[in-house]
Chains A and B, each alone.
Chain A
Amino acid sequence: QVQLVQSGSELKKPGASVKVSCKASGYTVAPYSMNWVRQAPGQGLEWMGWINTNTGNPAYAQGFTGRFVFSLDTSVSTAYLQISSLKAEDTAVYYCVRDVNIVNFDYWGQGTLVTVSS
């Protein structure tokens, strides 16, 4: 069955970097795009962008350029989200999400809580 399994919670200091992984199983990663969604504590969902699993090209939503990087290793069916120069406001749960056809977000990872605190 299709599963997206994300790496565990992270506690980081301001200014540090974090890399969240999302391992896909039960299907071939391409051609379905992989999206990333952020949810700050007590807040709603926020689309961060996506990565084309055929080409590896990422696209970022406004507000997620510069410090955020999406990448992919198709040999291990894993997508990654790297955030650099972490700030307190980056504290959130980050989800990877499969998209089968334009906002048809059918499978979600379990979420990774990233906490940024000194």
Chain B
Amino acid sequence: QSALTQPASVSGSPGQSITISCTGTSSDVGGYNYVSWFQQHPGKAPKLMIYQVTNRPSGVSNRFSGSKSGNTASLTISGLQAEDEADYYCSSYTISSTVVFGGGTKLTVL
């Protein structure tokens, strides 16, 4: 199972919105509504930000939202803040009953 495709880096200024894409296939992202997004700060464990494509766990800011179209899922962060600077990973359930992660995207807040 190949890793999902994410851009290596994205950037934005405070207050702006950014979107991170996550492209898979019909055997993973496109075939199931089991896409999650994780935020990871340096030296820390990942944190769940979005599950089942669009759902936010309790305690996660509503500035974070998820969506999916075909084989591509997206994470949008609105009203960028300095503390949003981190690595972001998508993941998906697959047709093989496994889980696959994206390669990760480094978000820089300018």
Contact = CB atoms under 8 A, between A and B. Distances in A.
Q: Do A and B come from one complex?
A: yes
Contacts, number: 62
B102 A35 contact: no
B99 A103 contact: yes
A101 B104 CA distance: 22
A102 B46 contact: no
B87 to A, nearest CB: 8
Given A95-B46, A106-B57, A44 B103 contact: yes
B99 A104 contact: no
A14 interface: no
A50 to B, nearest CB: 8
B3 A103 contact: no
Contact of B98 (A45, A61, A101, A110): A61
B70 to A, nearest CB: 19
A45 B92 contact: no
Interface in A103-118: 103-106, 108-111
A31 B35 CA distance: 21
B74 interface: no
A46 interface: yes
Q: Chain B binding site: helix, strand, loop or mixed by DSSP?
A: strand
Interface residues of A, number: 21
Interface string A30-41: 000001010000
B34 A103 contact: yes
A106 B93 CA distance: 15
B100 interface: yes
A62 interface: yes
Interface in A42-84: 44-47, 49, 59, 61-62
Given A104-B51, A105-B51, A109-B45, 20 more contacts: A37-B46, A44-B3, A44-B102, A45-B46, A45-B104, A46-B101, A47-B91, A47-B98, A61-B1, A101-B51, A103-B35, A103-B51, A103-B92, A103-B99, A105-B36, A105-B38, A105-B48, A106-B57, A108-B46, A110-B45
Interface of B: 1, 3, 34-36, 38, 40, 45-48, 51-52, 57, 89, 91-93, 97-104
